[in-house]
């Protein structure tokens, strides 16, 4: 597309996303990798929450969580999800919709082991999304886990990653007088080439 230059230049949306993320890392004050992740439950009721995107791969976006959490249950059931990244400092956003698979192997181990010890122990201690009687109960559980797991805990079997392989990626950049620039990449499967369209703001 002839007018897709500058911010939007390139035929690979993952490369554009990586470039935008790198620029956000330099300008966004807090959590430049935060995404608003959307899922649906078995009744089709939508859910949304902020999580941290940990990797943009050549074919997927990756984040990590507790597999017993509500978000994980909804991801497993539906097999699809959507998210939006918004960078206020750059006045840009990326919207993604796609299919979900677990990242439960060596890459998950590697990322888990890269986290601080307290974060690794906290993953063991948290029954994410379950009711909690008090903060004191949580801290007591962390202390117990610390005593049993030691200083080199392995990744919990109930904690790991998810990969979102997009069928749609939209790039948005702020324009004067709310005449924003929007480009959407779409495909029906990972084996197909992307189709690109400019959208009205």
Residues annotated as catalytic (active site), given as ranges: 178
Cα dihedral 25→31→36→39 (10° resolution): 110
Half-sphere exposure of 28 (CA within 13 A, CB side): 19
Residue 184, beta-bridge partner list = 170, 197
Of 31, 38, 67, whose CA–CA distance to 52 is shortest? 31
93, 36 Cβ separation under 8 angstroms? no
* Chain centre distance of CA 106: 19
Residue with tokens 């109960």, as numbered in its chain: 137
156, 123 Cβ separation under 8 angstroms? yes
């Amino acid at each position: 597309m002839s007018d897709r230059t500058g911010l939007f230049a390139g035929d690979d949306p993952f490369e554009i996303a990586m470039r935008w993320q790198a620029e956000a890392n330099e300008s966004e004050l807090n959590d430049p990798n935060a995404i608003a992740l959307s899922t649906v439950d078995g009744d089709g009721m939508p859910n949304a929450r902020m999580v941290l995107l940990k990797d943009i791969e050549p074919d997927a976006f990756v984040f990590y969580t507790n597999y017993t959490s509500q978000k994980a249950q909804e991801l497993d059931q539906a097999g699809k999800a959507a998210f939006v990244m918004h960078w206020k400092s750059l006045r840009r956003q990326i919207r993604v919709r796609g299919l979900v698979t677990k990242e439960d192997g060596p890459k998950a181990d590697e990322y888990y082991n890269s986290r601080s010890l307290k974060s690794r122990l906290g993953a063991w201690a948290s029954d994410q999304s379950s009711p909690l009687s008090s903060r004191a109960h949580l801290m007591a559980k962390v202390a117990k886990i610390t005593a049993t797991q030691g200083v080199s805990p392995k990744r919990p079997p109930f904690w790991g990653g998810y990969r979102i392989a997009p069928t749609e990626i939209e790039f948005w950049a702020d324009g004067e007088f709310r005449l924003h620039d929007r480009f959407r990449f779409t495909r029906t499967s990972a084996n197909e080439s992307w189709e690109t369209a400019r959208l009205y703001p």
